[in-house]
């Protein structure tokens, strides 16, 4: 049997060839849905052992992720907010924020713009369809790990490199350009506030993470999860942790995001006007595991309308800088848990592997 041939049920099913055909069609999952299919292609069907993990589980005492009110951030409430953020980063790796200063009309406009991009005709989107990010500020594709994953996920993605500066705003699709430029402006302000809270929660100066360029390397993904005709056979996004420092997520009202906490999957239910914040692998490493990144995933969309979300990853812009546990978190009682590395190497490793749990952060762990 040829190395690239996998037999699943039907004799002669060639997964590698079907993946290639799907990718080269530039249809994306949305294009498949528009074609009127009533069953999903085999490349999207996940193995039974993976699907079993996605079966609904109920835990009566499941604790929802914390929701933190940022109003009065620059008052005497700040120390209380810092404590709440620190507790969420240490115990959950995820939290939602309200009263963050971004108007609800901007939130709605941003989601609508990402949705509008994905709902354009295939031939309009196809000119942005590519897998190579280097040299391109904007890419549209289905499944960043399409060629390395065991099965594809039911979603399409628009990616935009925002930082250090959104120099090529003209390259952003016109249908969502103004909204993305405005969103980046809001995220730069909010991101600086969040990095300050996270730093203070670690006992560092508020400016520490910003000085490490952790706001500079921003990247945006606008995910589109079309309705799935067989949601019990596939997933929206496989279990993974994010590679960077912090992720700021805007999700619509559909839901489907889940976070692993205490060994169980917990729904991150949409809160009107809220943003979801999560710790990335790099922040776990920098803090020598004071803060934890956690596995999260998205269920395949069983609804009759699409799910849309927008995530901005806060990464260092100093790609050639060396990162590892900060000296402040290393002691004889708690030695460094990770080796040092260049951030460019860290990101390269992330994009060359399958989205798969915390395999990236584990690679850099000292034995």
Successive 10-residue mean pLDDT values, the chain, 367 residues:
39 84 96 95 92 66 86 93 98 97 97 98 94 79 92 96 75 94 96 98 97 95 97 94 96 95 92 97 97 96 97 94 96 96 89 73 87
Beta strands in 135-252, from DSSP E residues, in sequence order: 138-141, 156-161, 219-225, 235-240, 246-251
235 occurs within a structural domain: yes
Helix, strand or coil, per DSSP, at residue 205: coil
Stated as kind and residue range, the H or E segment containing 31 is helix 28-34
Residue 182's pLDDT is: 96
Cα–Cα distance list, 151 to 8, 48, 167, 232 (Å): 12, 11, 36, 14
10 occurs within a structural domain: no
Degrees, nearest 5: CA angle 64-68-73: 175
Q: How many CB atoms lie within 10 A of CB 100?
A: 22
Q: Are 246 and 283 in contact (CB under 8 A)?
A: yes
Helix, strand or coil, per DSSP, at residue 357: strand
Helices and strands (H and E) in the chain: how many? 11, 14
Q: How many residues does the chain have?
A: 367
2 occurs within a structural domain: no
Domain that holds residue 218: 15-363
Query: What are the φ/ψ torsions at residue 116 (nearest 5 degrees)?
Result: -65, -40
Distance CA 239, CA 258 (A): 9
Residue 139's pLDDT is: 93
Quickly tell me which residue has 């979603």 as its tokens: 155
Q: Are 245 and 314 in contact (CB under 8 A)?
A: yes
As given in the structure block, the two tokens for residue 106 are: 């901007």
Q: Are 256 and 225 in contact (CB under 8 A)?
A: yes
Residue 60's pLDDT is: 53
- DSSP state, residue 126: G
6 occurs within a structural domain: no
175 occurs within a structural domain: yes
Q: CATH number, domain at 283?
A: 2.60.120.330
Residue 167's pLDDT is: 56
Q: Are 220 and 177 in contact (CB under 8 A)?
A: no
Residue 63's pLDDT is: 74
Number of domains the chain contains: 1
Q: How many CB atoms lie within 10 A of CB 11?
A: 5
Distance CA 336, CA 325 (A): 6
7 occurs within a structural domain: no
Distance CA 356, CA 180 (A): 29
Residue 99's pLDDT is: 97
Query: What are the φ/ψ torsions at residue 111 (nearest 5 degrees)?
Result: -60, -45
340 occurs within a structural domain: yes
Compute the half-sphere exposure of residue 22: CA atoms within 13 Å on the CB side of its CA: 26
Both ends of the chain: CA-CA distance in Å? 38
246 occurs within a structural domain: yes
Q: Are 347 and 243 in contact (CB under 8 A)?
A: yes
């Amino acid at each position: 049997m040829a190395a690239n041939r996998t037999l699943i049920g039907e004799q002669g099913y060639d997964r590698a060839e079907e993946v290639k055909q799907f990718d080269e069609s530039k249809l994306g999952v949305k294009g498949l849905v528009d074609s009127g299919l009533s069953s999903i292609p085999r490349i999207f069907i996940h193995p039974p052992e993976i699907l079993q993990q996605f079966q609904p589980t109920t835990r009566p005492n499941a604790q929802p992720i914390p929701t933190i009110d940022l109003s009065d951030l620059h008052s005497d409430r700040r120390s209380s907010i810092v404590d709440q953020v620190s507790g969420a980063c240490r115990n959950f790796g995820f939290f939602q924020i309200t009263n963050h200063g971004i108007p609800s009309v901007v939130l709605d406009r941003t989601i609508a713009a990402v949705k509008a991009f994905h709902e354009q005709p295939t031939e309009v989107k196809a000119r942005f369809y590519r897998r190579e990010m280097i040299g391109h500020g904007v890419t549209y594709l289905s499944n960043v790990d399409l060629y390395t994953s065991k099965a594809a996920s039911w979603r399409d993605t628009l990616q935009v490199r925002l930082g250090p500066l959104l120099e090529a705003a003209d390259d952003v699709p016109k249908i969502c350009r103004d909204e993305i430029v405005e969103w980046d402006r809001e995220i730069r302000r909010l991101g600086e506030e969040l990095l300050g809270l996270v730093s203070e929660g670690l006992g560092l100066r508020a400016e520490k993470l910003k000085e490490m360029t952790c706001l500079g390397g921003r990247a945006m993904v606008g995910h589109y999860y079309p309705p799935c005709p067989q949601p019990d056979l596939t997933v929206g996004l496989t279990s993974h942790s994010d590679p960077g420092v912090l992720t700021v997520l805007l999700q619509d009202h559909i839901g489907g995001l889940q976070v692993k906490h205490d060994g169980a999957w917990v729904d991150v239910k949409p809160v009107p006007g809220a943003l979801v914040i999560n710790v990335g692998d790099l922040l776990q490493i920098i803090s020598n595991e004071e803060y934890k990144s956690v596995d999260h995933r998205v269920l395949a969309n069983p609804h009759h309308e699409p799910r849309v979300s927008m995530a901005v990853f806060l990464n260092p812009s100093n790609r050639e800088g060396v990162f590892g546990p900060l000296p402040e978190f290393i002691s004889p009682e708690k030695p460094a848990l990770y080796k040092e590395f260049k951030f460019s190497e860290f990101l390269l490793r992330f994009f060359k592997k399958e989205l798969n749990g915390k395999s990236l952060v584990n690679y850099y762990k000292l034995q």
